[in-house]
């Protein structure tokens, strides 16, 4: 971990994500996520100015069509965006670890059919699959009949739909990693000496597999953010869609949590109006978040590759030293 946090790329990405998350949590603790709203502004002739307002009228970035401060909306939604990506990544990776071990140790004979099934799922557009399910539930499904429970039901369903689809692929990936590690000579020696599967997993496979799991987790976090952004453009928000009257009394869809993918979907239409900066704000922030996660991934891969080189060099030196020893020299040194 010391080597990882000394890596500049990892430290940069980690600082950005932790900084955004800390600011959003502090705002919740201090202001309870209250979003300032400006009323109708009037021009010099006394006529109301149509919202949204620009950064000149309401600095620094103006308001949306509900009169809400855009900067505060982004601060409030940051923690929901990051936490949603983390939770989705955990659900994608953690069950895949268990299924991967089960496939390797107990389902080796049917591993190939499972792999074909996972590959088949990957060929179908995941965004379209998630949209079809979540759109049906949001507007036509049974959950809409239960108004009191629909919000949390839709949150859980959103997370499960965008998570479970990736478990078969990750399970095969982890099973392949376990198979590669299991072919190492020291594991064969340990098995010959009587070590059982559980001891091999905890003592031998785990130290080699954990770094790969960190890499898989960060990749899934990035993919989760991209998928959330796609669904946001298609008006699929975490927790469903709420409706709120804007400053002129028109009912408009709104994201209940103000998470960045939802705000992107809410403000997507502003790209083709005279207020394009409103749409660009969540686009830029999501891009920064994805690039920060990519920086963490690159830094972690750099550190792991350097450690592998150090281990390989050390092993090569030890083999050379061993080959240069005379016959029975090790036995003589230990006996003395």
Tens of pLDDT, residues 299-328: 999 988 876 544 444 444 443 443 444 444
| Structural tokens at position 273 | 């109006």
The pair of three-digit structure tokens given for residue 328, joined into one six-digit string: 């029975």
Stretch 213-218: mean pLDDT, rounded?
A: 93
| Closest listed residue to residue 233, CA positions, set 204, 200, 270, 196 | 270
Q: Is the pLDDT of residue 165 over 90?
A: no
User: How big is the CA angle at 19 (ends 15 and 25), to the nearest 5 degrees?
Assistant: 150
Residues 95-116 pLDDT 10s: 999 999 888 888 877 778 878 8
- pLDDT tens profile 185-194: 777 787 777 7
Q: For residue 328, what are the contacts with CB-CB under 8 A and spacing of at least 6?
A: none
Say whether 315 sits in a helix, a strand or coil. Answer: helix
Model confidence, pTM: 0.84
């Amino acid at each position: 971990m010391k080597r990882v946090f000394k890596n500049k790329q990892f430290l940069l990405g980690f600082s950005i994500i932790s900084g955004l998350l800390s600011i959003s949590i502090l705002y919740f603790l201090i202001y309870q996520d209250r979003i300032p709203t400006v009323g109708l502004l009037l021009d010099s002739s006394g006529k109301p100015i149509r919202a949204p307002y620009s950064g000149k009228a309401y600095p620094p970035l103006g308001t949306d069509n509900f009169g809400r401060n855009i900067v505060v909306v982004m601060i409030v939604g940051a923690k929901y965006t990051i936490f949603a990506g983390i939770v989705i990544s955990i659900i994608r990776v953690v069950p895949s670890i268990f299924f991967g071990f089960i496939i390797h140790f107990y389902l080796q004979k049917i591993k190939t059919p499972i792999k074909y099934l996972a590959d088949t799922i990957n060929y179908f557009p995941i965004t379209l699959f998630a949209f079809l399910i979540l759109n049906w539930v949001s507007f036509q499904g049974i959950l809409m009949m239960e108004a009191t429970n629909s919000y949390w039901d839709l949150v859980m369903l959103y997370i499960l739909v965008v998570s479970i689809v990736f478990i078969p692929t990750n399970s095969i990936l982890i099973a392949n990693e376990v198979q590669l590690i299991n072919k190492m000579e020291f594991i064969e020696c340990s098995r010959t000496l009587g070590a059982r599967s559980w001891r091999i997993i905890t003592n031998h496979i785990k130290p080699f597999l954990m770094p790969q799991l960190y890499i898989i987790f960060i990749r899934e976090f990035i993919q989760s953010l991209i998928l959330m952004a796609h669904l946001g453009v298609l008006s699929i928000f975490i927790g469903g869609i709420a409706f709120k009257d804007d400053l002129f009394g028109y009912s408009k869809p709104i994201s209940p949590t103000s998470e960045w993918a939802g705000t992107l979907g809410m403000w997507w239409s502003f790209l083709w109006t005279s207020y394009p900066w409103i749409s660009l704000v969540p686009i830029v922030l999501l891009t920064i978040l994805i690039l920060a996660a990519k920086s963490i991934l690159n830094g972690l891969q750099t550190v792991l590759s350097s450690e592998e080189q150090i281990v390989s060099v050390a092993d090569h030196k030890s083999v050379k030293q061993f080959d240069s020893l005379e016959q029975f020299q090790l036995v003589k040194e230990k006996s003395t």
